[in-house]
Structure 1
Amino acid sequence: MKVMKPKHLGMLVICLLVTQTTIAQFGKASKVKLPDTYDFDYIYKLKMTHKKGDITFDYYLKEDAKYFGFDSEEMSKGSKDTKMFMVMDTDLEVTAMFMEMMGKKVVQKTKIKPSDLDSDEDMSDYTFTEIDSETINGYECEGYISENDKHKITFYITDDVTVSFNQVFGSNTKNMPKGFNPALMKKYAENGLMMKMIFEDKKKSKNSMTMECTGLEKTGFSIDTTEYGSMMSAFGG
């Protein structure tokens, strides 16, 4: 997670909305060998409030790992007998969708590159302002606002954690907003998580949304990738 760049705060929204359908737009990666297991230390629970309703997402994070896991009831909505869990591994440049369906365990791998999820959009027309801090879920968070004539993004970040999306996506300081302090990027480089973000679309209010962390919990969850076969081998296609 590129913490201080407004566009990359929006990156989290993109990750939230990734489903099997959107992943299929990327290249096939059937020959990529996954590690035997993906282990996780924390579950980062995020609630997105939108005009059309609320959605809760669970992110699975591991200290110093170049991957994260993702789960949401929305992914298997309408399929009560289907379970899905996604892992994005930027070291292998692959996204793996682990599925349990019809009594079978299958994995669908798709090739991606970090650049596919990046943007070179110039953010220099945004202003950047530090605001009062807030305590969210027991974490002391520093507050910031990035704004231009179209959007206003208010967000709160804590460095009182040992995990970060920044480990997965990296960071850069290109095209930063006016008033941005580059030292903040270094501060949040390894231990920085967004606890709250309020996105306001000044032109189309229907696009506005709020995202807030509702919990950061320790977990010993791991997924054994050796238990999952390809779709073809599982169903004899």
Structure 2
Amino acid sequence: MTSKIFTNFGFLLAFLFIFQAGYSQKASKIELPSTYDFDYTYKLKMTHKKGDLVLTYFLKKDAQYFGFDTADMTKGSDTKMFMVMDTNLGVTAMFMEMMGKKIVQKTKLKTSDFDDDSDNSNYTFTKIDSKTIMGYECEGFMSENDEHKITFYITDDVPVSFNQVFGANAKQMPKGFNPDWMKKYAENGLMMQMIFVDKKKSKNSMTMDCVGLDKTDFSINASAYGSMMSAFGN
């Protein structure tokens, strides 16, 4: 798999894995800031054979955290949940509203869990034609081997990025990769489209399209949320 700085694909799926897998390492002693503020919402539509899903991320310029709204993933539930991943504190915080109570569940986070240690040497990496997506001029790249073909388009004409959260390091980059491309997107850069093709198992193929990048003044008042035990008096 190519570097996360370009595809954003690896950490998107890893983030979903964390959400679905549950929590095992509690971090109750970690003190969160009083509020988490956000400047932009970044929406990705994931299109898959089994159906579509819109992922809504909340970003802030130069911040080492981002938010994730679980509303589209928890439709039909009476519980409201909003997740913040804070790599500066090394914690993932799930803010929940349930049974009239505001609860936060904190989990230790190891940024090394998101390192891409896979061997990319069997991938070829080429730059392809640019195109405009949602009014943003995007450079195109394609990475391919015998099993997968990944085409993605990135713009640096944006004020926010995931790079401050996850860093911009690349290991074992594929054949044809130019390190100067990474330098260009070191500060700002968002994926606007990604087309993932599994050559051997077509059911795994999928696309991701940015369907929204909008300003927001949304914030989470972390100080208003207590622990599960304190909320229910146990």
Which TM-score band applies after superposition, normalised by the shorter structure? over 0.9
- 3-state SS, counterpart of residue 78 of structure 1: coil
CA–CA separation in structure 2 for the residues paired with 1:22 and 1:78: 20
2:146 is the alignment partner of 1:122: no
Specify the SS of the correspondent of 1:116. helix
CA distance in 2, matches of 1:65, 1:58: 17
* 1:177 lines up with 2:174 in the alignment: yes
Counterparts of 1:9 and 1:57 in 2: how far apart (Å)? 12
1:2 lines up with 2:15 in the alignment = no
Equivalence for 2:42:
44
What is the CA distance between 1:13 and its match in structure 2?
Answer: 2.6
The question of 1:192 aligning with 2:189 is answered yes
Secondary structure of the residue aligned to 2:5 is coil
Deviation at 1:75, TM superposition (A): 3.7
Q: What TM-score does the superposition give when structure 2 sets the normalisation length?
A: 0.95
1:62-141 superposed matches below 5 A: 62-79=60-77, 81-141=78-138
Which residue is equivalent to 1:14? 14
Mean CA deviation greater in 131-140 or 67-76 = 67-76
Structure 2 Cα separation of the partners of residues 122 and 83 of structure 1 = 39
CA distance in 2, matches of 1:168, 1:119: 15
The 5-angstrom pairing of residues 129-168 of structure 1 reads 129-168=126-165
Deviation at 1:36, TM superposition (A): 0.4
> Does structure 2 retain, via aligned residues, the 8 Å contact 1:126–1:178?
yes
TM-superposed CA distance for 1:17, in Å, is 4.9
Percent of aligned pairs with the same amino acid: 71
Q: Give the distance between the partners of 2:129 and 2:16, measured in 1 at CA.
A: 27
- What residue number does 1:222 align with? 219
Question: TM-score, with normalisation over the residues of structure 1?
Answer: 0.94
Kindly state the Cα deviation for residue 82 of structure 1 after the two structures are TM-superposed: 1.2
Q: What is the RMSD of the two structures over their aligned residues, measured on CA atoms?
A: 1.4
Q: 1:148 and 1:106 mapped to 2: Cα distance?
A: 45
* Structure 2: unaligned runs, 5 residues or longer: none
Residue in 2 that maps onto 1:24: 23
Q: Which amino acid in the other structure matches residue 59 of structure 1?
A: Y
1:78 Cα offset (Å): 3.1
Change (3 A) 1:17 1:75: farther
How many residue pairs match? The answer is 232
Contact 1:23–1:110 under 8 Å retained in 2: no
Asked if 1 retains the 8 angstrom alpha-carbon contact of 2:116 and 2:171, the reply is no
For residue 34 of structure 1, give the secondary structure of its aligned residue in structure 2. coil
For 1:176 and 1:195, locate their aligned partners in 2 and report how far apart those are by CA, in whole Å.
21
* Letter aligned with residue 15 of structure 2: C
